Amino acid sequence: MKLNFTAEAITLLQQKYDQVTSYILAVNDGTNAFSSSEGCCMIGDRFLLQPITEIIEPYTVKISIEPFTVYTAAYDQMFLSGDLTLSISPSTHNLQLNDSRGIVDYNVEVKQFLNQISTS
């Protein structure tokens, strides 16, 4: 699995978090410490990017190294396949996740950067 970024997505992330170079890509379904959802019937249809400064278990699977290092977990991989692309939607200007079949998530949430992240 590979994650590509369009130039527009790179610009958006660099403007939002100038010094951040690593992120977690995770499902936003209430199953992890970063999720804004408290349970959802759309499991695997919503994703989030969490800026990080260090690797956090279980997010140790590297899926991108340029221009950002992005990690995911085995659980999240169940909902991702093939070559992925993060782009900006031309109509909504949201961060959008695509795979070879089409749009995976129309609105990937970019979480607030936290200096200390607790996963317990």
pLDDT, averaged per 10 consecutive residues of the chain (120 residues), comes to 95 91 90 68 76 94 94 93 93 93 93 58
* Domains of the chain: residue spans and CATH: 2-110 (2.60.300.12)
The pLDDT of residue 118 is 44
Residues with Cβ within 8 Å of residue 11, at least 6 apart in sequence: none
Report yes or no: 104 and 80 within 8 Å, Cβ to Cβ: yes
The reported pTM is 0.86
In 3D space, the residue among 2, 113, 103, 116 whose CA is nearest the CA of residue 50 turns out to be: 113
The pLDDT of residue 6 is 97
Report yes or no: 69 and 82 within 8 Å, Cβ to Cβ: no
In 3D space, the residue among 69, 90, 72 whose CA is nearest the CA of residue 13 turns out to be: 69
